[in-house]
């Protein structure tokens, strides 16, 4: 006797892929260069809110 596996056949609609935000790559954060001093010497980068998607990561 062979046990037949139930066929998992789901009629699922294609997942809607939300377009990723380009500047941040979908993370919602973009590296912002931190500058200090009168010469505006860059001391490093920190995560800043992406102003293109406002942190959502999608280019909707
Ligand atoms: Zn973004």
What pLDDT is stored for residue 17 in this prediction? 80
CA distance 36 to 27: 26
What pLDDT is stored for residue 50 in this prediction? 94
What pLDDT is stored for residue 40 in this prediction? 92
CA distance 59 to 23: 10
What pLDDT is stored for residue 41 in this prediction? 94
Backbone angles phi, psi at 46, to 5 degrees: -135, 160
Taking the centre of ligand 1 as the mean of its atom positions, its distance from the CA of residue 30, in whole angstroms, is 7
Taking the centre of ligand 1 as the mean of its atom positions, its distance from the CA of residue 15, in whole angstroms, is 21
What pLDDT is stored for residue 13 in this prediction? 83
Taking the centre of ligand 1 as the mean of its atom positions, its distance from the CA of residue 34, in whole angstroms, is 19
Q: What DSSP character marks residue 25?
A: T
Q: For 2-58, how does the pLDDT look when each residue is reduced to its tens digit (9 = 90+)?
A: 778 777 777 788 878 889 999 999 999 999 899 999 999 999 998 899 999 999 999
Confidence (pTM): 0.53
Taking the centre of ligand 1 as the mean of its atom positions, its distance from the CA of residue 48, in whole angstroms, is 10
Taking the centre of ligand 1 as the mean of its atom positions, its distance from the CA of residue 21, in whole angstroms, is 5
Q: Which residues contact 28 (CB under 8 A, 6 or more apart)?
A: 21, 49, 50, 53, 54, 55, 56, 57
């Amino acid at each position: 006797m062979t046990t037949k596996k139930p066929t998992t056949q789901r009629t699922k609609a294609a997942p809607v892929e939300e377009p990723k935000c380009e500047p941040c790559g979908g993370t919602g954060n973009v590296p912002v260069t931190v500058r200090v001093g009168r010469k505006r010497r860059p001391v490093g980068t920190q995560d800043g809110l992406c102003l293109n998607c406002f942190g959502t990561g999608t280019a909707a």
